[in-house]
Every structure is written in structure tokens, then in C-alpha cells.
């Protein structure tokens, strides 16, 4: 299962996970950095890739949620603001096994909220 990190997260996180053998890719590997979600969501849905993002606004944007649903994309949304690079590394590493577990047992489409502390919760 491939995990697709969008532009809300650093390609360096992806590089680090890849170095440890994880099946991850970043948006900028496949598209220009400013590519709209509507351009890449259908492709990752067809490939069965799982979206990893820090776009917290998704829960307040019905059209984005609908785009995830219609393209059958599974997504994990980190609900974090103002974190430095070290904080992101710690958070992603700490939550990675849970993310992989939820992704492997939940058929898309889905959206999970990933907080710093507490339980990962399904939004849709």
C-alpha cells in the first residue's frame, strides 16, 4: 500500500520514511507543487494510494470531502498547527503504525483525523 503525502507535508518526511523501507511518495514526485487537488485526487484513487495531509480545512469543505469520496480515496489528516520539523518527525513516526493499521483494514473512501494526542478518529 502506497501512502501519498501532499504539499501540506514536507518531501523530507517522505525521504526519511523511504530510507526505512516504507512505501511512500510525495506529490512533487508526480506533479508540479502548485497542482490543484482536483488534478491528482483521481489518479491516487485509481491507484489505491492513501492520502496523508495536514489540510485541517477538509472537514469544513464539503466539496473536498466529496472529491475524496467520489475518487474512493482513503485519507489521514493531521490536526496540528505551528509545529517545527522535529515535531513533525516525532508525530509521524509515533503515529505511523496506527495509520498503516487503519489503512489496511478500512476500505476507501474514508477520512481519519490524526491528533497529536488521543485516538485517531474516523470523520467519514
CATH of the domain at 11: 3.40.50
- 57 pLDDT above the threshold of 80: no
Strand-by-strand arrangement of the 3-5 sheet: 24-26, 3-5, 50-53, 74-78, 110-114, 121-122
Q: Which residues pair with 50 in a beta bridge?
A: 3, 74
- 108 pLDDT above the threshold of 70: yes
Q: How confident is the model at residue 70 (pLDDT cuts 50, 70, 90)?
A: very high
The number of domains in the chain is 1
| pLDDT the model gives residue 22 | 97
Burial 32-71 (b: 16+ CB within 10 A, else e): eeeeebeebbeebbeeebbbbbbbeebeeeeebbebbeeb
- State the residue range of the domain holding 107: 3-122
Integer Rg of the chain from CA: 13
| pTM (2 d.p.) | 0.93
Amino acid at each position: 500500500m502506497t501512502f501519498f503525502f501532499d504539499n501540506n507535508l514536507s518531501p523530507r518526511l517522505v525521504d526519511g520514511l523511504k530510507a526505512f523501507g516504507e512505501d511512500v511518495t510525495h506529490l512533487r514526485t508526480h506533479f508540479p507543487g502548485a497542482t490543484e487537488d482536483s488534478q491528482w485526487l483521481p489518479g491516487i484513487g485509481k491507484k489505491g494510494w492513501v492520502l496523508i495531509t495536514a489540510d485541517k480545512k477538509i472537514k469544513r469543505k464539503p466539496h473536498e470531502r466529496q472529491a475524496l469520496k467520489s475518487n474512493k480515496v482513503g485519507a489521514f489528516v493531521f490536526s496540528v498547527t505551528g509545529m517545527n520539523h522535529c515535531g513533525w518527525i516525532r508525530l509521524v513516526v509515533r503515529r505511523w503504525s496506527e495509520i498503516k493499521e487503519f489503512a489496511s483494514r478500512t476500505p476507501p473512501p474514508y477520512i481519519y483525523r490524526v491528533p497529536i494526542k488521543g485516538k485517531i478518529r474516523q470523520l467519514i
